[in-house]
Copies of this chain bind each other. A is one copy, B any other.
């Protein structure tokens, strides 16, 4: 309908190819140099673009990297694998696969670090990266409810709080495993984590957790101690 910024501005229009080239060059530079040694001059050179062109579109390194990294998360989706357990495991592994890429590793954490002092940057991250991940949680829950694996919600507010918690737990645990502990997020770990999560969500109901996997958590097995 109405284009907020007039569809056509006077003068030569901006090159669309430039944006693509710049974002690709940014990711390439992230892989090669990492966040801290990445320079906008270098990105511009790699993209075959003048620095001015780059600054015309992004206000700085942070914003540029957010956009460059955000595109990596486009591939996140939630294919229906038939059960809540499988869906969760799937999304964990997908997320971990993205985090394993060097352009995401240092870039993502660095902009998060910056965002602690820059609200506009945090909002940009939230809008273009975090929100997309959170939708998967909501979508997964809805699908599980349809399947009957989870009950419907009575209190929408509590449901939202719960979704936030689950999201922080999943995203936080995966990121921490991958970046801080620097251990691989492989199928075994994903299965164990999923078990913990689903047990936590469904426990104390006399209802068996929907997972068919066995976790390796300590649990009282044989006879009680006394």
Contact = CB atoms under 8 A, between A and B. Distances in A.
Interface of A: 34-36, 102, 105-110, 112-117, 122, 125, 130, 148, 150-151, 153, 155, 158-159, 161-162, 164-165, 167-169, 171-177, 179-183, 189, 192-193, 195-205, 207-209, 216-221, 224-226
B218 A203 contact: no
A137 to B, nearest CB: 12
23 contacts: A35-B114, A106-B114, A106-B117, A109-B113, A130-B180, A150-B218, A155-B216, A159-B218, A161-B192, A164-B181, A165-B173, A165-B189, A165-B193, A165-B196, A168-B176, A169-B176, A172-B177, A172-B180, A196-B200, A200-B200, A201-B217, A203-B204, A207-B220
A165 B174 CA distance: 10
A205 B180 contact: no
Contacts of A125: 180
